[in-house]
Copies of this chain bind each other. A is one copy, B any other.
Amino acid sequence: MTRIIEALEWRYATKAFDSNKKLSNNQVAELKKITQLSASSFGLQPYKVIIINNQDLKDKLKPASYAQAQISDASHLFLFCAMKEFTKNDVNDFVDLSVEITGTPKEKMKFYHDMMDMKIDSMSKEENMYWASKQAYIALGNLLTGAAALEIDTCPIEGFIPQQYIDILGLDKMGLEPLVLAAVGFRADNDKYQHIPKVRKKNNNLFIEM
C-alpha cells in the first residue's frame, strides 16, 4: 500500500475537532499552495477561497450551518466560492498572467485567448455557475487529499444556508456565491467517527471496465 492510499485511508469526515489545536502558519501556507496548484478548466480557476480563522466569525457562521460543531471548533474554514460572473476581463487577466509567468508573447496566445472568450460567451449565467462550481470541487478534492497527506484533518460541508453566509461574510459585493467548505484542523481524541470503517461502493458497483 502506498503512502497516498494510507493517507486517504487515514482521513475521514472529522465530526469533532480539537478546538485547542490550531494549524501553524506553515501548515496554512502549505494548504494554500495545494489549493492553488489545483487543475481547472483552461487553468482559469473561476473561484475564490475564503479562509476563515477568526473565532467570532466562525461562531457567527455556526448557526448558519445547522449548528454543526466543526464550524466553530475547526482551526480554519476554507470556503470555496464561485465567481458569479466570470467575464472576458477575467480571461484577459489570466492571459496577462500567463504572459508574465511563461514569457510567451501575448500575440502567440491569440488562438487560446479566443477559444476561452468563446467558451465564456457561450455560457448562460447558470451554465457559468455550474462550470465554476465543478472547477471549485476539483480544488476541494485536491485540498482534502493534500491535507490528509500532511496528516491534517478535514470535513467537507455543504450543509449551510447560502444566503446567511452571503450576509455574514459580505459576499454579494465581492460577486461571490458560496458553494462548499472544508473545516480544517485536528481531530479530537474522542471523535468516535475516526474508528468507524469507511463505507465506499464496492469496485463492481463503482467501476465499469471496457
Taking Cβ atoms with an 8 Å cutoff, the residues of A that contact B are: 2-5, 8-9, 11, 13, 30, 32-39, 41, 43, 45, 48-54, 57, 94, 97-98, 101-102, 130, 133-135, 137-142, 144-146, 149-150, 156, 158, 169, 174, 180, 196-203, 206-210
Contact assessment for B30 and A9 in the assembled complex, using a CB-CB cutoff below 8 Å: no
For the complex, give the distance between the alpha carbons of A141 and B53 in Å. 25
Nearest B residue to A76 via CB reads: B209
Nearest B residue to A93 via CB reads: B205
A117 to chain B, nearest CB (A): 16
Contact assessment for A51 and B209 in the assembled complex, using a CB-CB cutoff below 8 Å: yes
Say which residue of B5, B130, B202 sits within 8 Å of A30 (CB atoms): B5
Give the number of times this chain occurs in the complex, counting copies.
2
Assuming the A-B contacts A39-B141, A141-B141, are A50 and B208 also in contact, with contact meaning beta carbons closer than 8 angstroms in the complex? yes
Nearest B residue to A37 via CB reads: B8
Assuming the A-B contacts A52-B210, A138-B144, A141-B138, are A156 and B39 also in contact, with contact meaning beta carbons closer than 8 angstroms in the complex? yes
For the complex, give the distance between the alpha carbons of A33 and B94 in Å. 35
For the complex, give the distance between the alpha carbons of A18 and B141 in Å. 27
Assuming the A-B contacts A134-B134, A144-B138, A209-B53, are A4 and B150 also in contact, with contact meaning beta carbons closer than 8 angstroms in the complex? yes
For the complex, give the distance between the alpha carbons of A98 and B37 in Å. 34
Assuming the A-B contacts A137-B137, A144-B142, A146-B145, are A48 and B206 also in contact, with contact meaning beta carbons closer than 8 angstroms in the complex? yes
Contact assessment for A200 and B36 in the assembled complex, using a CB-CB cutoff below 8 Å: yes
Assuming the A-B contacts A38-B141, A142-B142, are A54 and B210 also in contact, with contact meaning beta carbons closer than 8 angstroms in the complex? yes
A131 to chain B, nearest CB (A): 9
Say which residue of B13, B30, B98 sits within 8 Å of A39 (CB atoms): B13
Contact assessment for B45 and A200 in the assembled complex, using a CB-CB cutoff below 8 Å: yes
Say which residue of B53, B94, B201 sits within 8 Å of A210 (CB atoms): B53
For the complex, give the distance between the alpha carbons of A52 and B8 in Å. 24
Nearest B residue to A146 via CB reads: B4
